[in-house]
Amino acid sequence: MGRVWLAGAGPGDPGLITLRAVEVLRQADLVLYDGLVNPLLLRLTSGRCERTSRIRRAGAAIVPQEEINRRLIEAARQGLRVVRLKGGDPCIFGRGGEEAEALRQAGIPFEIIPGITAATAAAEYSGISFTDRNASSAVAFVTAHEDPTRDGTRLCFRALAAFPGTLVFYMGLNRLSELCSRLQEQGLSGATACAVICRATLPTQQILTGTLATLPELAAGARLQPPSLVIVGDCVMQRSGLSWYEQLPFFGVSIGVPRAEDQSGVVLEQIIRGGGEPVPMPLLEILAVEGVAAEQVQEQLRGLSGVDWVIFTSANGVREFFSQLRAAGRDVRALGGVRIACVGSSTAASLAERGIVADVVPEQFRAESLVEALGSAVTGRTVLWVRGSRGRDVLPERLSAAGAEVRQLVVYRNEDAASLPEEIPTRIREGRLDWICLSSPAMARRLAELLRESGLWPLPQSTRLASISGLTSGAAAEAGLQISAEATESTWDGLLEAVRAAVGRAD
């Protein structure tokens, strides 16, 4: 017998999921998730996990609740660990109680994992505090979307109008005019402050404030999009002073990240914490060498005694080098007496994680600068360059010219993505991808190829490009791409800082 976890995913920002929910997602064999769940959370699952949306993509139809219950029960009976991932909190207008009852009746073990409900997150990401000693001592959560199979309503608007505190209506956008009218009819002043918040805690968050008398008309012309909440009460007046989310440097900005999926996590998190929308769009894959190639690498690693210098030019190279070193039955002691040089702060950091401090790290993160920094130290010496299957020939050529004997060790393969991710062409055509960050010449060239194949040439001006270095900018120009921002420091931090400056929100 398996087990089912009914887990709250929080309201939108993937950073608002609980640690317990993260824990069970990592264990899951099957995740059945709501359409409002941030897809970035699915990256927490393992490669063997089946991930199924409650929304059938072809017709955008919602899977009926009865079918969801049946699927949960069947999967658990097959011995699977199942996570039912629900937006917000499972049991606050999330039908989590219904699913738990179905599991109980079927004899399926289950656990309910609370989530941050949309109401509290929406308010706090908008600068609104529901309770305040001077404004409100109570708060009521109300659904504006009741059971459609029942006649009439269970809501008593007379009681709601007399409620001594803040009212929060879930899913209230489509009934906004009715809600405001009925509250006024029952005696609540038309001057009462209120707000409608849509797509809360996301970079596309929309907030509109007014009064019960004015908000419906304001909302009618504002192109608001669900999901939504309506807040009624004096607490709304705090917003002008407590608003913080919209002040973040990337708020409202969507940024394409073309790195390999397993290497983009830190960058995605930086964009999210800056208030932006990261859009994963891997253009290249980094794959470990396998088979005969791996055996050849391991054989070379068993014979490092004649090597004077080892040079790393990427964090990928560091990771795969040590992976192959372990496979060869050796460890870091194999580098005893060998000097280490590297290009780039991320490469140096990757070495440091393994207890190695590089002897030489040039200030400029280019192969040419590394050769200059090494100078005569490599003359008459044997140098092992740890690399991928692609790369410029500048480094071995210049090292050889400096009198070094150069050996090359290919520890990973660079593979092109076959196509752009499905959503990217649509985003670009609709003007919903503001920036694409390019961190290598190969990435720039592949983007140009895929844009042409997708009928997106020339790239619309609504999508701008940022480059990590002059080399990458040059490759982009040769491919016909126009760079709008270039990093002054050739790192992902520098690349994101260039985007910040370009959108006028640099720190």
CA dihedral 497, 502, 503, 507 (to 10 degrees): 40
Q: What is the DSSP string of 144-160?
A: SS--TTSSS-S--HHHH
Residues of the chain with CATH 3.40.50.10090: 254-283+418-502, 286-416
Show Cβ contacts of residue 148 under 8 Å, excluding neighbours closer than 6 positions. Answer: none
Rounded to whole angstroms, what are the CA distances from 77 to 180, 212, 380?
Answer: 48, 51, 68
Residues of the chain with CATH 3.30.950.10: 120-247
120-247 belongs to which homologous superfamily? Answer: Tetrapyrrole methylase, C-terminal domain (3.30.950.10)
Q: In CATH, what is the architecture of 286-416?
A: 3-Layer(aba) Sandwich (3.40)
pLDDT value, residue 483? 98
pTM, two decimals, is 0.85
Ranges of the chain whose pLDDT falls below 50 = 56-59
Q: In CATH, what is the architecture of 254-283+418-502?
A: 3-Layer(aba) Sandwich (3.40)
Dist CA 494 CA 112 (whole Å) = 42
Q: How do residues 388-420 score in pLDDT, each as one tens digit?
A: 998 778 899 999 999 999 999 999 998 999 999
pLDDT value, residue 59? 47
Dist CA 148 CA 90 (whole Å) = 20
> Bridge-partner residues for 29, per DSSP?
none
Q: In CATH, what is the architecture of 3-116?
A: 3-Layer(aba) Sandwich (3.40)
Separation of first and last alpha carbons in the chain:
54
pLDDT value, residue 332? 92
For the beta carbon of residue 505, count every other beta carbon within 10 angstroms: 16
Q: How do residues 335-379 score in pLDDT, each as one tens digit?
A: 998 999 999 888 999 999 999 999 999 988 788 889 999 999 999
- Give CA 382 to chain center in angstroms: 43
